[in-house]
Structure 1
Amino acid sequence: MSRKKYTLQNTPFVVPTTDGKIIKEHFGKTSDGNSDISIAHMVAPAGWSEPFQTPEFEEFTFIIKGRKQFIIEDETVILEAGQSIKIEKDTRVQYSNPFKEACEYIAICTPAFSMDLVHRED
């Protein structure tokens, strides 16, 4: 009997949050133990933001619906549906959705997202 050459993810890990953001990790440390990459489907509600951080991982973001604001070092970048961005590791960044509609997006981190590697500011 041969080993399966794929992994189908039907039950992503839903990350508990207190800020209204929905995070469903399909692959990564908490969902399947993979520390090399994490892939998550997210919805950031209108008005959402999180503290600045300087992660030890690259983060790729693809916007499905809505808009998302990034403050990268001292530059503000706004992504809209259909756009994507790659942010290098060890870059100071703040993610937010200051807009009136929710933002749905996919986030991919290499290596995988980890609270130990994100370095959020207080």
Structure 2
Amino acid sequence: MKKYTIQDNPFIVPTNDGKIIKEHFGIPTTGDSQISIAHMQAPPGWSEPYQTPEFDEFTFIIKGKKQFIIDGDKVILEAGQSIKIERNTRVQYSNPFADTCEYLAICTPAFSIEKVHRED
């Protein structure tokens, strides 16, 4: 039995906001509810509503910039920077910049729509 898994067929999460989400590991790909790892591309002008997730989220910026509003603090990360946002923290993600932002998102436990708690 192999003690590794190569993921070359990530789950493409359907979106209607131009964001590309390729989940490599997590509930829809491997059934793992402990961790999710996704490769994301957020187009210029993209944003999500505020949310208060029940998971820790780690973000590593590969290219471009991404804006976070975390409990009222505005944080802007650029390529090569990373952040950990602790579970049960109110946060809003956006890309108000001119270029696409490419990044990795890692959630523990795994991302699920039931645990993200997006505001209307």
Q: Same fold (TM over 0.5)?
A: yes
Q: What is the root-mean-square deviation of aligned Cα atoms in Å?
A: 0.3
User: Following the alignment from structure 2 to structure 1, what is the Cα–Cα distance between the partners of residues 81 and 4?
Assistant: 28
Q: Give the alignment partner of residue 68 of structure 2, picking from 56, 70, 74.
A: 70
User: Following the alignment from structure 2 to structure 1, what is the Cα–Cα distance between the partners of residues 12 and 41?
Assistant: 12
Cα deviation, 1:60-104, whole Å, max 9, x if unaligned, reads: 000000000000011000000000000000000000000000000
Aligned identity (percent) is: 75
Q: Give the alignment partner of residue 37 of structure 1, picking from 28, 32, 35.
A: 35
Higher Cα Rg, which structure: 1
Amino acid at match of 2:68: F
Match of 1:11 in 2: 9
Residue-pair matches, total:
120
Return 5+ residue gaps in structure 2 as ranges: none
Q: Kindly report which structure 2 residues correspond to 1:106-121, keeping only aligned pairs within 5 A, or say none.
A: 106-121=104-119
User: Following the alignment from structure 1 to structure 2, what is the Cα–Cα distance between the partners of residues 56 and 10?
Assistant: 28
User: Following the alignment from structure 1 to structure 2, what is the Cα–Cα distance between the partners of residues 74 and 19?
Assistant: 24
Cα deviation for residue 50 of structure 1 reads 0.4
Cα deviation for residue 25 of structure 1 reads 0.2
User: Following the alignment from structure 1 to structure 2, what is the Cα–Cα distance between the partners of residues 104 and 94?
Assistant: 17
Q: Kindly report which structure 2 residues correspond to 1:12-27, keeping only aligned pairs within 5 A, or say none.
A: 12-27=10-25
The secondary structure found in structure 1 opposite 2:54 is: coil
User: Following the alignment from structure 2 to structure 1, what is the Cα–Cα distance between the partners of residues 51 and 86?
Assistant: 12
The secondary structure found in structure 2 opposite 1:9 is: coil
Cα deviation for residue 22 of structure 1 reads 0.2
